[in-house]
Amino acid sequence: MNNGIAIYPGLDNTLEENLELITKAAHYGLTRLFTSLHIPETDRPRFKKELGLLLKKARNAGMEIISDVTPDTLNLLDIDVFTPSALKMLGITTLRLDDGFSPEKIAALSNSPPTIRLQLNASTVTRRFLSRLSELGTNFQNIDALHNFYPRPGTGLGEETLVRKNILLHRLGIQVGAFVPSLARPRGPIHAGLPTLEEHRTERAELAARHLVALGCDSIFLADSMPTTKELREIGELPGDQVTITCQSLTTDPIQNEMLKRTYTSRLDEARDAVRATESRAVLKELGGTIHRENAILRPIGAITIDNEGYGRYMGELQIARVPLEADARTNVAALVEESEVNLIQYITPGRRFAFRMTQSRPDTE
């Protein structure tokens, strides 16, 4: 995934802190940098002094530089006329077009040299707006989208809205990003986090990011001023295009534990009671082992099960229980999804890839 950070020259962080943040982010594999050029609280003299140094640092680190602009931000940059070439000279590689850009202007920019990537505001797009862009011959290969973040508590998006906007954009082949907050140092002036989804305002960045990926987001940005090293590493390592769920192993069997480390695809013929892995029996065959009976116990919602030798040719089938199920001597409960992440199971839709993050094993419960 092409994930990123955000910096805000002239706000909370010192120049030295922002330079260090860029260095650390690049070290952990974050390849994009977002900055906004129209935050009212920005210290303008500091902003003008620091922006060039920060953009040069990001360019040298190989980062894509995304700038949130409106026509009114030209004064801040001392630019008389809005042109892609003027912004490219500053080192900006992608323009996030916020208020004030008509479909006609966006279509023209998408097809005009010198080429500069464009980014739509994913939170405000509508079907009519995107249809108009299509009618105007917009070059969508040069466009992606990024949701807003929301500093004031109670103003973030709901899940349904985010998914609806993502679907509209994905239909045109446009990739979509979103923001997660850092719990370490929420950015001012409100200091209440900068999430895209309201429910993520006090959520761990890594869990919020996995939720956004499950909802169809293609890239994740740490929005707040100074994320921790742990947050940078986790977002840098975030697997994309799959639902990743934390679970605790209940098995001491090395074969079952190895099976829990693999990535699977949910079967297209969706079962009523469980997510069924397409590849798990083939994985067992590859490992060349036998699944003996172990932990054939009650299966609560979130139980990750592997059928044992008692199930004959079904031996090795891996499932995740969607509903509580009775114990079956032919089915081992190999692991349990963390209670706080059971909601992620609903996003493992037919054909969706999924994997597990393993935590420390629990004692044997059988």
The average pLDDT across 125-145 equals: 96
The average pLDDT across 127-140 equals: 96
Residue that wins the pLDDT comparison between 98 and 356: 356
Write down the residue that tokens 């500053």 correspond to.
90
Q: What length does the chain have?
A: 366
pLDDT at 115 (0 to 100): 72
Residue type, 173: G
Residue-wise pLDDT tens digits, 158-170: 999 999 999 999 9
How far apart CA 235 and CA 222 sit, in angstroms, is 8
Gap between the terminal Cα atoms of the chain: 40
What's the sign of the alpha-carbon dihedral 15, 20, 26, 29?
negative
Residue-wise pLDDT tens digits, 3-23: 999 999 988 899 999 999 999
- The answer to whether the beta carbons of residues 337 and 245 sit under 8 Å apart is yes
Residue-wise pLDDT tens digits, 141-161: 999 999 999 999 999 999 999
- Please list the residues that pair with 34 across neighbouring strands: 6, 66
The average pLDDT across 278-305 equals: 97
- 366 — pLDDT class (breaks 50, 70, 90): very low
- The answer to whether the beta carbons of residues 214 and 1 sit under 8 Å apart is no
How far apart CA 319 and CA 265 sit, in angstroms, is 11
For residues 282, 288, 294, 297, the Cα torsion angle rounded to the nearest 10 degrees is 0
How far apart CA 86 and CA 12 sit, in angstroms, is 27
For residues 24, 30, 31, 37, the Cα torsion angle rounded to the nearest 10 degrees is -70
3-state secondary structure of 11: coil
Q: Quick check: 364 pLDDT over 60?
A: no
How far apart CA 287 and CA 140 sit, in angstroms, is 44
How far apart CA 348 and CA 351 sit, in angstroms, is 8
Q: Quick check: 363 pLDDT over 70?
A: no
Calculate what percentage of the chain has a pLDDT beyond 70.
Answer: 96
The average pLDDT across 135-144 equals: 95
Write the CA distances from 293 to 57, 104, 143, 254, integer angstroms: 57, 65, 53, 14
For residues 84, 88, 93, 99, the Cα torsion angle rounded to the nearest 10 degrees is -40
Domains and CATH numbers, the chain: 4-240 (3.20.20.70), 244-359 (2.40.100.10)
Q: Quick check: 362 pLDDT over 70?
A: no
How far apart CA 170 and CA 174 sit, in angstroms, is 5
pLDDT at 360 (0 to 100): 57
Q: Quick check: 338 pLDDT over 90?
A: yes
Residue that wins the pLDDT comparison between 351 and 366: 351
Residue-wise pLDDT tens digits, 25-81: 999 999 999 998 777 788 888 988 999 999 999 999 999 999 987 766 666 777 777
How far apart CA 279 and CA 79 sit, in angstroms, is 56
Calculate what percentage of the chain has a pLDDT beyond 90.
Answer: 80
The average pLDDT across 183-202 equals: 94
- The answer to whether the beta carbons of residues 324 and 336 sit under 8 Å apart is no
Residue that wins the pLDDT comparison between 182 and 75: 182
pLDDT at 127 (0 to 100): 97
Q: 352 burial class (0-12, 13-18, 19+ CB within 10 angstroms)? A: middle
Write the CA distances from 221 to 11, 25, 180, 301, 302, integer angstroms: 18, 11, 6, 31, 29
Q: Quick check: 83 pLDDT over 80?
A: no
Residue that wins the pLDDT comparison between 48 and 182: 182
- Mean pLDDT estimate for the chain: 93
- 85 — pLDDT class (breaks 50, 70, 90): confident
Q: Quick check: 340 pLDDT over 60?
A: yes
How far apart CA 292 and CA 277 sit, in angstroms, is 19
- 250 — pLDDT class (breaks 50, 70, 90): very high
How far apart CA 155 and CA 153 sit, in angstroms, is 6
333 Cα distance to chain centroid: 30
> Helical H runs in 171-305?
205-214, 229-236, 254-260, 280-287
Q: Quick check: 223 pLDDT over 50?
A: yes
Q: 187 burial class (0-12, 13-18, 19+ CB within 10 angstroms)? A: buried
Lowest mean per-residue pLDDT among 38-47, 166-175, 201-210: 38-47
